[in-house]
Amino acid sequence: MLTRKQHELLIFIDRHLKATGFSPSFEEMKDALQLRSKSGIHRLISGLEERGFLRRHHHRARALEVVRMPEDVASRAASGGGEGATGFAPTVIRGDFTARLPGVRAAREAGAVQLPLYGRIAAGLPIEALRDNGAQVEVPIALLGSGEHFALEVAGDSMTDAGILDGDTVVIHRGETAENGQIVVAMVDESEVTLKRLRRRGNSIALEPANRAYETRILPADRVKVQGRLVALLRRY
């Protein structure tokens, strides 16, 4: 049996998913249930997971899946009574993608956004010079987290062993930091831009390809500037 708050939260999440195509944020859930802190939402979600009503996809941004609904709600839905009989009618907040992702305008209500599409990586050009003005690509919101993102067309085969092929479109989270081992867009000597795996080695940075035909480049850290890190990949067949 669910507590009243668990029951309310599960219905809110289910309605939000059906209305927007993606799960609500913890802030939205906190406001809907009129709780004072997000920690209460964490406890409620954990309880719903333990009871088999919710499933969390930990490697996807804001991804919750309703596995099943309480028997009373399911039986009312089957008889045409709907969910309103619970007496809980939260306001479903449709995602304001423009506010959550600076520089990105909202796309269809299916849960996608339009990201600026930059050109193919080319030596001798800073990342801003690669931008094809007006070009955009639609990306599912579930692939993105908070912050600013852009898309980039891949040129060459230096990352094929990482599953990144010539002509693919990679989605990049813009930023100047990255963890060891992450695939990043790096600018070398304020001019050359490349997509490689980053490794820190003391005061040096190694830019590793994912293809044995290419050599790893080891450079002083002050010659390398991270422009963003890879978060998703798109491919057309």
- Residues 45 and 37: their CA atoms lie apart, in Å, by 14
Q: Per the residue annotation, which of 39, 158, 191, 204 is the catalytic one?
A: 158
d(CA 223, CA 229): 18
C-alpha span between 83 and 89 (Å, rounded)? 9
Q: Residue 215 has what DSSP assignment?
A: P
CA neighbor of 192 nearest in space, from 227, 231, 146, 230? 227
Q: Tokens at residue 146, please?
A: 């908070």
Q: Which tokens in the block code for residue 222?
A: 């002050």
Q: Is the separation of the CB atoms in 114 and 97 below 8 Å?
A: no
Cβ burial of 32 (10 Å; 0-12, 13-18, 19+) is buried
5 has catalytic annotation: no
Annotated catalytic, 196?
Answer: yes
Q: How far apart are CA 226 and CA 108, in angstroms?
A: 31
**Quick check: helix, strand or coil at residue 195?**
strand
Say which of 146, 196, 204, 225 is annotated catalytic: 196
Taking the C-alpha atoms of residue 204 and residue 51, their distance in angstroms, rounded to an integer, is 49
Which residue in 190, 184, 191 sits closest to 206, CA to CA?
184
Q: Where are the alpha helices (DSSP H) in the chain?
A: 4-20, 26-33, 38-50, 71-78, 97-100
Instruction: Please identify every residue annotated as catalytic.
Output: 158, 196
